[in-house]
């Protein structure tokens, strides 16, 4: 008989794992704090489409994605550049984040996953050494396995007992603060590089990118230290001096967000518990790849669940996922 699997948060790895595990005949429910149709940011994301196949998903419709330009990396003084050359078969795709979510969610629903929206997860429910459920704003729910896909600040992971040995807090140097927005095209002048990634731009500890698109210029500013809109304006003006395509009118986006840039935790499982995606810091500093890595992890987790024939879901049986 199928086991009761709870997924906390509709993170990318969580949805993918939910779909794969539901296909095995388990009863899978996801609890997401946001409302239906409001997930994602107002911008595009890049990921390796091969990860979709690994997670058992189809390619999205052709009109929903395009192939990503090669990046060109610049040194702090912009005097040296390093051009990426990704072979055709390894090219990543670029998609609206909302379309990525729609594609993933539709797939999960087809696989039999249930989704409860508008339901904030507050903490894990722990009995002895085992995670047996989650506390939500709509009440407690219990399950045989709790998959934590609530992101970097997950209230499930951060409220686990310390004796589980799972890293809870994220230090300031383990996450990068990001401002991202799409601006109008300031000048039709050809850009020096279509996708320019700047390391420690202008001597500031962080990263920046300017991607010249047909209809807009995509600006990303990343810093370890906190910054505000005054700094965004100062820094964008500084970049405009050498990047005239970066216009002044913001068309879309304009949010401050965080991305984890640390290694995954040495332990991401416990009896009845497995973390996935940003909740287990599966991004790669510099290039991100959080979406593709979450999808690949979903496959490892689903295989681990399948191998656990009696549905024990202990730290011991989940160890295969940890090492995978
Ligand atoms: C600006 C920016 C650009 C990025 N670009 C890329 C890119 O181009 N390519 C790429 O691969 N990755 C990119 N990433 C990283 C990528 O978004 C993540 O690594 C990836 O989505 C995996 O994170 P996640 O889905 O596990 O977590 P999250 O994206 O944080 O999702 C967590 C989910 O859980 C929900 N949630 C959170 N707390 C609760 C709660 N208490 N109760 C219920 N639900 C909750 C959230 O609403 C959300 O739906 C980018 C990230 C940012 C911020």
- How many domains, the chain? 2
Last residue of a domain, one of 260, 287, 315: 260
- Ligand 1 mean position, distance from CA 129 (Å): 28
Q: Using alpha carbons, select from 94, 98, 6 the residue that is nearest to residue 305.
A: 6
Identify the CATH number of the domain in which residue 44 sits: 3.50.50.60
pLDDT tens digits for range 82-97 = 999 999 889 999 999 9
Task: State the pairing for strand pair 269-270/273-275.
Answer: antiparallel
Instruction: Report whether residue 11 contacts ligand 1, using a CB cutoff of 6 Å.
Output: yes
Distance CA 93, CA 81 (A): 23
CA distance 106 to 16: 11
Residue with CA closest to ligand 1 atom 39: 150
Q: How far apart are CA 35 and CA 23, in angstroms?
A: 25
Do 250 and 314 belong to one domain? Answer: no
- Interval 101-105 mean pLDDT: 97
| Residue 78, domain member (yes or no) | no
Which pLDDT band holds residue 36 (cuts at 50, 70, 90)? very high
* Sheet hosting strand 130-136, strand order edge to edge: 121-127, 130-136, 139-142
pLDDT of residue 203: 83
At residue 59, the pLDDT reads 97
Query: CA 50, 55, 56 angle in degrees (round to 5)?
Result: 95
Is the pLDDT reported for residue 288 higher than 80? Answer: no
Question: Which of 208, 226, 260 is a domain's end point?
Answer: 260
What was the pLDDT predicted at 298? 98
Range(s) of the domain holding residue 312:
4-55+95-170+263-323
Asked if residue 158 and residue 51 are part of one domain, the reply reads yes
* Rounded Cα–Cα distance for residues 297 and 304 (Å): 10
Domain end among 224, 239, 260: 260
Cα dihedral 43, 29, 126, 295, rounded to 10, equals: -50
Distance spanning both ends of the chain, measured CA to CA? 26
Token readout for 290 is 């959080």
Determine whether the shortest distance from the Cβ of 288 to ligand 1 is under 6 A.
yes
Q: Which residue has the higher pLDDT, 158 or 201?
A: 158
Indicate if ligand 1 lies below 6 Å from the C-beta of 33: yes
d(CA 312, CA 3): 10
Which phi and psi (to 5°) does residue 236 adopt?
Answer: -65, -40
> How far, in whole angstroms, is CA 185 from its chain's centroid?
28
C-alpha 200/C-alpha 244 separation (Å) is: 20
Tell me the backbone φ, ψ of residue 257, rounded to 5 degrees. -140, 175
Q: Name the token pair of 283.
A: 């991004």
DSSP, residue by residue, 88-131: GGG--EEEEHHHHHHHHHHHHHHTT-EEE-S--EEEEEEETTEE
pLDDT on residue 73: 94
Q: Which of 65, 74, 53, 73 is nearest to 92 (CA)?
A: 65
What per-residue confidence (pLDDT) applies to 159? 98
Is the same domain home to 275 and 245? no
pLDDT band at 105 (very low <50, low <70, confident <90, very high): very high
Q: Are residues 43 and 110 in the same domain?
A: yes
Q: Is residue 62 part of a domain?
A: no
109 and 38, same structural domain?
Answer: yes
If asked whether residues 271 and 222 sit together in one domain, one would say: no
> What is the per-residue pLDDT across 291-324, written as a single tens digit (0 to 9) for each?
999 999 999 999 999 999 999 999 999 999 999 9
**Integer angstrom CA distances of residue 277 from 190, 207, 220, 268:** 37, 22, 22, 11
Q: For residues 205 and 118, which has the higher predicted lDDT (pLDDT)?
A: 118
In this predicted model, what pLDDT tens digit does every residue of 193-203 receive, in sequence order?
999 999 988 88
When pLDDT is averaged across residues 198-222 and rounded to a whole number, the result is: 92
Residue 183 is assigned to a structural domain of this protein: yes
Same domain, 32 and 45: yes
Tell whether 90 is covered by a domain.
Answer: no
Residue 279: the pLDDT is: 97
Say yes or no: 182 and 209 in one domain: yes
Clarify whether residues 150 and 253 are in a common domain. Answer: no
Does residue 63 lie within any of the structural domains? no
- The predicted pLDDT at position 285 comes to 76
For residue 130, being part of any structural domain is answered with: yes
80 is a domain residue: no
List the Cα angle 31/27/22 in 5-degree steps. 95
Q: State percent of the chain over pLDDT 90.
A: 90
pLDDT of residue 213 exceeding 80: yes
Average pLDDT, the chain: 95
Ligand 1 and 280: CB distance under 6 A: no
CA of 122 to the centre of ligand 1 (A): 18
Looking at the domain assignment, is residue 81 inside a domain? no
Split at pLDDT 50, 70, 90, the class of 41 is: confident
Given a cut of 80, is residue 165 above it in pLDDT? Answer: yes
Q: Is the pLDDT of residue 4 over 90?
A: yes
Dist. CA 252–CA 249, nearest whole Å: 9
Residue 175: CB within 6 Å of ligand 1?
Answer: no
Same domain, 214 and 291: no
Domain shared by 39 and 186, yes or no: no
Q: Same structural domain for residues 125 and 158?
A: yes
Mean pLDDT value across residues 120-139: 98
Considering only CA atoms, which residue is closest to atom 18 of ligand 1? 290
Alpha-carbon gap, residue 151 to 9, rounded angstroms: 8
Segment 38-43 shows an average pLDDT of 89
Q: What is the pLDDT of residue 69?
A: 87
**Mean pLDDT value across residues 202-227:** 92
């Amino acid at each position: 008989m199928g086991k009761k699997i709870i997924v906390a948060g509709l993170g990318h790895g969580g949805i993918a794992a939910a779909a794969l595990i539901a296909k095995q005949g388990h009863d899978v429910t996801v609890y997401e704090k946001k409302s239906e149709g409001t997930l994602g940011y107002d911008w595009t994301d890049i990921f390796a489409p091969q990860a979709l196949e690994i997670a058992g998903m189809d390619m999205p419709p052709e009109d929903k994605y395009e192939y990503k330009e090669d990046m060109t990396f610049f040194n702090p003084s912009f005097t040296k550049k390093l051009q990426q050359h990704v072979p055709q078969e390894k090219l990543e795709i670029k998609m609206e984040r909302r379309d990525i979510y729609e594609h993933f969610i539709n797939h999960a629903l087809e696989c039999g996953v249930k989704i409860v929206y508008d339901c904030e997860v507050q903490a894990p429910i722990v009995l002895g050494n085992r995670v047996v459920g989650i506390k939500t704003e709509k009440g407690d729910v219990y399950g045989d396995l709790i998959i934590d896909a609530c992101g970097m600040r997950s209230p499930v992971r951060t409220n686990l007992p310390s004796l589980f040995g799972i890293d809870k807090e994220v230090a300031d140097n383990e996450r990068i603060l990001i401002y991202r927005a799409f601006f109008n095209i300031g000048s039709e002048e050809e850009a020096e590089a279509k996708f320019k990634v700047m390391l420690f731009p202008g001597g500031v500890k962080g990263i920046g990118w300017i991607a010249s698109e047909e209809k807009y210029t995509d600006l990303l500013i990343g810093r370890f230290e906190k910054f505000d809109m005054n700094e965004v304006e100062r820094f964008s003006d500084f970049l405009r001096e050498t990047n005239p395509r970066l216009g002044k009118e913001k068309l879309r986006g304009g949010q401050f967000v965080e991305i984890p840039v640390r290694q995954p935790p040495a332990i991401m499982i416990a009896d009845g518990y497995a973390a996935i995606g940003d909740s287990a810091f599966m991004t790669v500093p510099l290039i991100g790849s959080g979406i593709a890595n979450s999808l690949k992890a979903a496959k490892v987790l689903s295989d681990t669940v399948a191998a656990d024939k009696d549905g024990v879901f202990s730290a011991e049986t989940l160890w295969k996922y940890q090492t995978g």
